[in-house]
Amino acid sequence: MSIWKRLPASILPRLVLVALTFGCSWGAWAPSASARRPGEVRVDQLTRAQKIALRTTATVRAIRRVGRSVIAITTKKIVRRNPYYVSPYGYPPSRGRQRRTTSLGSGVIVSSNGYAVTNEHVVSQSTDITVKLADGRRYKAKVVGAARRFDLAVIKIQAYTKLPAAKLGTSADLMPGETAIAIGNPFGLSHTVSKGVISALKRTVKIKGRKFSDFIQTDAAINPGNSGGPLVNIVGEVIGINTAVHRGGPGIGFAIPVDRVKRVVVDLLKYGKVRGAYLGLAVYDYNGPGVAVGSVQPGGPAAKAGVRRGDVIYSIKGQTIVDVYTFRRVVRKLIPGEIVWLRMRRGTARVRVSSLSPRQARLLFEKRLGFTLDSAAYYARRMRLHTRDGVVIRKIRRRGRAWNVGLRRGDVIKRLNSFNVSSLLDMNKAALQLLSGRSVMMIVQRGRNSYYVTVPY
């Protein structure tokens, strides 16, 4: 009797099912020339050009678009030693001695006629600037304008041919998680590329005692020497200028958003500096969070946005306002032309920041200190002054800041901080450079005598 006849009838269907299942699995697993997809080519059959085409990713294409515009910056600086410093080893003071230092940084060309952007701290106090392009060409460069409070500078490359310029994108629509590429010269390693993502937006960072806000945070490797180089998106557009790395650990770098860079560059190219921001309102502290609006300049930016006297401002551009000092610090970081939102007790206001003219800066200075200034030359005979240079205090408010430090009517201001003042025009320019929340040093002449006075501003 055959083996099939000995098996129970219920076993036969199961055996058939197992056989069919095993056959199907084996057919799928077994290698076969006919199983290869139509048109599929093995790697060893590809040409060199085909392999390069497959390896050319979006990142590679982005670097090709902007890489030629990245420059390595070498600066030479003269550092003056403290003439009264005594060495811990007993060496005497080295009076008047100087030493030369060399520092490295990065930058990006933004115009074919040789204008490039970098960090202010890369080129500050430099006596000689040399840039190196990706193709090895070297040129001298000079500073066109710098803004310390934004840590940005524009340099002009002294080349007589057109240079490759990068395309500036926008930072208004950046998304956390999207690809970010940093290009620069870390530790002198020319044109180094690192890739990561945008980790966060609107970060506040403190760098060498200076506080910066609205930074882009990225985990693309940023090291010493990367400062001033571009942060690029996946399509090859510059979205930021690399500025700092977090000392607490790797993978935390910061870049200035390109929209802010573009606004700063416009002012630096036109004026050599960034104009003061002007909102057209005065504020004061009161019992509660925020600051209260004491007055609104008719026709000014705030008035056009609907801000009224008595409004309480809680935040500007997303930054919380605690007191008048915070308000002034935030406004000082604004750039003429940009649009900011003011969050107030009764709603919000969309304000386009205007520029502060030199005359407006002087009037603001007079209002804060509580006096009125005029030309000493004009009032010399009328007020019996002993000088015709400088500006004279024509009126002064009792118990104001100027009154409290001893200034009186008839005093003549001859110097304001580091600026010599011989006319109202000089005072206008000097007032434009004053920083809120800091003291102002003045040289004042009373009668035939002169003295120093410091006034809180």
List, for residues 384-400, the tens digit of each pLDDT value. Answer: 999 999 999 999 999 89
**121 annotated active-site:** yes
Say yes or no: domain 276-356 is CATH 2.60.120.10.
no
358-456: which CATH architecture?
Roll (2.30)
Q: 455, 440 in Cβ contact below 8 A?
A: yes
Could you check whether 276-356 and 358-456 share the same CATH topology?
yes
Say whether 210 sits in a helix, a strand or coil. Answer: strand
pLDDT at 50: 87
**323 annotated active-site:** no
> What are the tens digits of pLDDT across the range 416-447?
988 999 999 999 988 887 766 578 899 999 99
Spatial distance between the Cα atoms of 277 and 273, rounded to a whole number of angstroms = 12
Spatial distance between the Cα atoms of 42 and 179, rounded to a whole number of angstroms = 31
Does the pLDDT value for residue 83 go beyond 70? no
All structural domains of the chain with their residue ranges: 65-157, 179-271, 276-356, 358-456
Given 69, 103, 106, 121, the catalytic residue = 121
Q: 233, 169 in Cβ contact below 8 A?
A: yes
Given 69, 103, 151, 259, the catalytic residue = 151
Q: How confident is the model at residue 44 (pLDDT cuts 50, 70, 90)?
A: confident
Given 69, 194, 227, 375, the catalytic residue = 227
Say whether 285 sits in a helix, a strand or coil. Answer: coil
- Burial class of 388 by CB neighbour count within 10 A (0 to 12, 13 to 18, 19+): middle
**111 annotated active-site:** no
State the DSSP H helix or E strand holding residue 240, giving kind and residue range, or none if neither: strand 238-245
> What are the tens digits of pLDDT across the range 195-230?
999 999 988 877 666 677 789 999 998 888 889 999
CATH number of the 65-157 domain: 2.40.10.10
Say yes or no: domain 179-271 is CATH 1.10.645.10.
no
